[in-house]
Amino acid sequence: MEGHGIGLFDKIKGEFIDVIEWTDSSPNTLVYRFPRHNNEIKNGAQLTVREGQSAVFIDEGKLADVFGPGMYTLETENLPILSTLKGWKHGFESPFKAEVYFVNTRQFTDQKWGTKNPVTMRDPEFGPVRVRAFGTYVVRVSDPGKFIQEIVGTDGHFTTEDVTDQLRNVLVARFSDAMASSGVAVLDMAANYDELGAKLSERVKDDMAGYGVELRTLLVENISLPPAVEEALDKRTSMGVIGDMAKFTQYQAAEAIGDAAKNPGSGGMAAGGMGAGLGFAMANQIGQAMNPPAAPQGGAAPPPLPQGPQFFAAIGGQQAGPFDAPALKKQIEAGSVKPDTLVWTEGMSEWTAAGEVDAVQRLFGAVPPPLPPG
């Protein structure tokens, strides 16, 4: 009985692995480590790698051979890197130890990304602002060996949730750069989500490749401002909708008077006094709204009325003037300026007889003719 127990223990301890495979049953598993449990892989073991999988061999923490989809008999010929690491110069016959990781290489869709904290950026319209953003992306493992080395480590079971934090940190770090370089104002972001997604994808492509990951699609679904800024924007929009502030004030005052008329209130003389005061206040408000002051106190005075042309005249061989129309008319009435008197004003190229200048000639028509003799 005792000898039988020892033989059974030796059999369990010396068990060899001859079939290595992974049947993927989880929708979010990225990496699955084949459970070797200190057992050894025997020479000629069968390796099965299904579509959408890769098998990665790790020897004492070092990356060895990588297998794509297919069925393999594990021998020296198809384990060149592992053979080098193990020092198998002339092939191997005995079992060996190595970690085997299966990596899911299919696309993982609808992965979420978003900013944990607001990202500060300089907006061309509002100046420095803090924005939040979130969206989705599609990712797949493009280099299983690099992915195992850079992200997985020695974890036996690795899901998409495990890698989300690392990928999100890369996305958020590049997000502010993509926003700043786009030159798009925050108010115009909603119409440029596709452009921002493309810019962000381009900026993080190399970062993802460093992890052995390919970013297939990235979407920006929402960009938002802090609540206080959004409230200020809502007020600004409301003011734009109101339009003419004076007409809006008239409307509000009229509505208030109507409400007061419907609710006269009670309370004797005190209530009556309050109602009268309210009525005077509202009347004053309507008066101000309907008859705004012509100009604010202390404001700029209106410009002077436009003046007619100023004429110079050659009187007694001397230049006289300038004369405006009334003064020139007096000179005509006095006989100092006659139709053949030379006159000039700004805009004329040379001195001209007064009777040939329309603005002066009209003044002669208003002068009474000389009295008849006798």
The proportion of the chain whose per-residue pLDDT surpasses 90, expressed as a percent, equals 12
Name the more confident of 372 and 97: 97
Strands 127-141 and 318-323: unpaired
pLDDT of residue 141: 92
Cα of 312 vs its chain's centroid, Å? 66
Q: pLDDT tens across 229-281, in order?
A: 777 666 666 666 565 656 666 767 777 776 766 776 544 444 444 455 555 55
Give mean pLDDT, residues 180-189: 73
Range of 88-102, 121-135, 138-152 with top mean pLDDT: 138-152
- Kindly report whether the global pTM for this prediction surpasses the value 0.75: no
Which structure tokens are listed for 225?
């401002």
Q: What band does 71 get if pLDDT is binned at 50, 70 and 90?
A: very high
Q: Which of 35-49, 102-116, 144-158, 288-302 has the lowest mean pLDDT?
A: 288-302
pLDDT of residue 51: 93
Which structure tokens are listed for 60?
């004492």
> Is residue 54 predicted with pLDDT exceeding 50?
yes
Range of 117-126, 150-159, 345-354 with top mean pLDDT: 345-354
What are the residue boundaries of the structural domains of the chain, listed by start? 13-104, 108-229, 244-284, 311-365
Q: Give the helix/strand (H/E) hosting 273.
A: helix 268-290
The torsion of the CA quartet 347, 350, 355, 359, rounded to 10 degrees, works out to 10
Mean pLDDT value across the chain: 77
Quick check: bond before 322 cis, omega within 30? yes
Give mean pLDDT, residues 32-36: 87
Range of 71-75, 150-154, 189-193 with top mean pLDDT: 71-75
Q: pLDDT tens across 307-330, in order?
A: 678 888 888 788 887 888 888 788
- DSSP structure class, residue 337: S
Phi and psi at residue 364, in whole multiples of 5°?
A: -65, -35
- Superfamily designation of domain 108-229: Band 7 domain (3.30.479.30)
Contact 15, 37 (CB under 8 A): no
d(CA 55, CA 74): 12
pLDDT of residue 241: 56
- Matching CATH number, 311-365, of 3.30.1490, 3.40.50, 3.30.420, 2.60.120: 3.30.1490
pLDDT of residue 7: 46
Q: What band does 119 get if pLDDT is binned at 50, 70 and 90?
A: confident
Name the more confident of 365 and 31: 31
The proportion of the chain whose per-residue pLDDT surpasses 70, expressed as a percent, equals 72
